[in-house]
């Protein structure tokens, strides 16, 4: 990988976004070179398509709260949000399943 594409420290997300925007041609060339050499790694580009992406709008307060909670756990906030959503979905599914079982049990008692 070219040295100028290695991890950099940016002052803000905007600075990082601008830098990546300016590097698009070089990144495409680097990707094509690695593909031709058979040296593509197992990073995000290699996995893209394996996991669908989605975009959601969240209140600024929720994002700040997620950032704070993620930082306390040593996680990136996007990773933390994915964990929270996954956990809430599984919990909700468990409650629905429990309600179905409880409903069937009550119904069978009333026969």
CATH number for the domain including 105? 1.10.1220
Q: Are 44 and 64 contained in the same domain?
A: no
Per residue of the chain (111 residues), give pLDDT as tens.
566 666 678 888 888 888 888 888 888 888 888 888 877 766 655 555 567 788 899 999 999 999 999 999 999 999 999 999 999 999 998 877 777 777 654 445 454
The sign one gets for the Cα dihedral 80, 31, 27, 6 is: positive
Give the whole-angstrom CA distance, residue 93 versus residue 87. Answer: 10
Q: Are 39 and 65 contained in the same domain?
A: no
Structural domains of the chain, count: 2
Task: Supply φ then ψ for residue 51, to 5 degrees.
Answer: -120, 120
Per-residue confidence (pLDDT) for residue 54, from 0 to 100: 85
Q: Are 3 and 43 contained in the same domain?
A: yes
Q: Are 96 and 107 contained in the same domain?
A: yes
Boundary (domain end) residue, out of 11, 34, 53: 53
Q: Are 49 and 60 contained in the same domain?
A: no
Q: Are 108 and 62 contained in the same domain?
A: yes
Q: Are 46 and 70 contained in the same domain?
A: no
Per-residue confidence (pLDDT) for residue 104, from 0 to 100: 59
Per-residue confidence (pLDDT) for residue 5, from 0 to 100: 65
Q: Are 17 and 65 contained in the same domain?
A: no
Domain range holding 4?
Answer: 1-53
């Amino acid at each position: 990988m070219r040295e100028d594409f290695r991890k950099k420290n940016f002052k803000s997300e905007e600075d990082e976004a601008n830098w990546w925007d300016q590097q698009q041609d070089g990144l495409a060339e680097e990707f094509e070179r690695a593909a031709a050499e058979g040296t593509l790694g197992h990073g995000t580009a290699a996995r893209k398509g394996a996991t669908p992406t989605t975009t959601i709008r969240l209140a600024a307060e929720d994002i700040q709260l997620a950032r704070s909670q993620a930082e306390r756990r040593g996680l990136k906030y996007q990773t933390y949000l994915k964990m929270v959503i996954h956990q809430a979905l599984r919990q909700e599914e468990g409650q629905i399943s429990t309600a179905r079982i409880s409903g069937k049990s009550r119904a069978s008692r009333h026969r």
